[in-house]
Amino acid sequence: MPIIRNLSQLPDSARGGAVAIGNFDGVHRGHVRIVKQLQRRAREVGGPAIVFTFDPHPVRILRPDQCPPPLTWTARKAELLAAQGVDRIVAYPTDQHLLELSARQFFERIVCDTLAARAMVEGPNFYFGHHREGNIERLHALTARAGLTLDVVEPYVWEGQLVSSSRVRRAIGAGAVEQAARMLSAPYRIRGMVTHGAGRGTRIGYPTANLEAVDTLLPATGVYAGRAWFAEQGAQEGLAGTKERPKKGCPAAISLGPNPTFGESLPKVEVHLIDCDPILYGQPLEVEFYQRLRGIEKFTSRLALIEQLQQDVACTREIAIGAIGVNS
């Protein structure tokens, strides 16, 4: 499913359906609830279920110093939404023109004229238009006047609190990736480019892929059990409309933070792939997190470090195998 970025080239298959507008960062359980209602409305009106999101987040343009690190990059967000049954995904390139549209202009030009929407589905805290002047009450009035149905979906509550991107972000920032996964529609995942490191891992039998240019929120420092996803040979059409290789996964032990055993204080992202050895240098690598195993430690000897790494790998292999059944 290609991501639609140019509204002037919007296909007919993306018009005349049910529309949900928002950032959908992380695609958490609250977003899933919106998507399920979106699908029901799309079937009723006989059109597609469309999610209209923004790339980048408007706050990144308006108040870049206040914009938190995202939970998903756009292609990953599209994957997660497609997995929930969304038919079409619009990732509008956020620009000053869009930000200056009034609530009425946004509704009339985007929702009515461009998307030809017949129904809308939103959460209760939806805002739109210049300076967020439009709220859910204003949207009720606009949709009623235009003859669209509007469903306002109640937030998802887990363990007595509303699930939100901010709550998920706090859990990940604290290293509680298992808790975050229960609020998300899939285990939390980051991506980065694989670069050369010092090579110490290879010399002790535990080579690592060093990740740089990670563009989403990093969990708290520590060692984690997870899974790595990398490109296989061969290419197919990807979500962004470019050639994208099929992904292969394998268990991965992930270290986030410095390496005090070797006198290093700068934080790093190091990924040890278990039971596979692809050539990854200069390639993107995605890593998802299942469980935090321990904090970062300084070991008194090389032998002590190797013994701990053996335990980390054994735990990771067991956790990752169990996670396959849970998340499949």
Residue 94 resides in a domain: yes
Residue 301 resides in a domain: yes
Residue 34 belongs to domain spanning = 7-158
pLDDT of 328: 42
Question: Percentage of the chain surpassing pLDDT 90?
Answer: 77
| 244 shares its domain with 138 | no
Question: What six digits make up the tokens of 295?
Answer: 């904090």
Tens digit of each residue's pLDDT (9 = 90 or more) over 19-59? 999 999 999 999 999 999 999 999 999 999 999 999 988 88
Tens digit of each residue's pLDDT (9 = 90 or more) over 106-150? 999 999 999 999 999 999 999 999 999 999 999 999 999 999 999
Tens digit of each residue's pLDDT (9 = 90 or more) over 63-80? 888 889 999 999 999 999
Sign of CA dihedral 153, 155, 156, 160: negative
| 151 shares its domain with 271 | no
CA–CA distance, 14 with 151 (Å, rounded to integer)? 20
Tens digit of each residue's pLDDT (9 = 90 or more) over 213-272? 999 999 999 999 999 999 875 544 343 444 556 789 999 999 999 988 887 878 999 999
Residue 310 resides in a domain: yes
CATH number of the domain within which 192 lies: 2.40.30.30
Question: What six digits make up the tokens of 307?
Answer: 């013994």
- The predicted model gives 298-303 an average pLDDT of 92
| 154 shares its domain with 199 | no
| 153 shares its domain with 202 | no
Q: Coil, strand or helix: which one is 250?
A: strand
pLDDT of 239: 37
Q: Confirm if 250 and 266 have CB atoms less than 8 A apart.
A: no
| 132 shares its domain with 228 | no
Count of structural domains, the chain: 2
CATH number of the domain within which 32 lies: 3.40.50.620
Residues 6+ apart with CB under 8 A from 268: 197, 210, 255, 256, 257, 258, 259
Residues 6+ apart with CB under 8 A from 54: 23, 91, 92, 94, 98
CA–CA distance, 300 with 142 (Å, rounded to integer)? 67
DSSP secondary structure letter of residue 123: -
Residue bearing the bigger pLDDT, 115 or 1: 115
pLDDT of 265: 77
| 141 shares its domain with 233 | no
| 98 shares its domain with 148 | yes
| 80 shares its domain with 212 | no
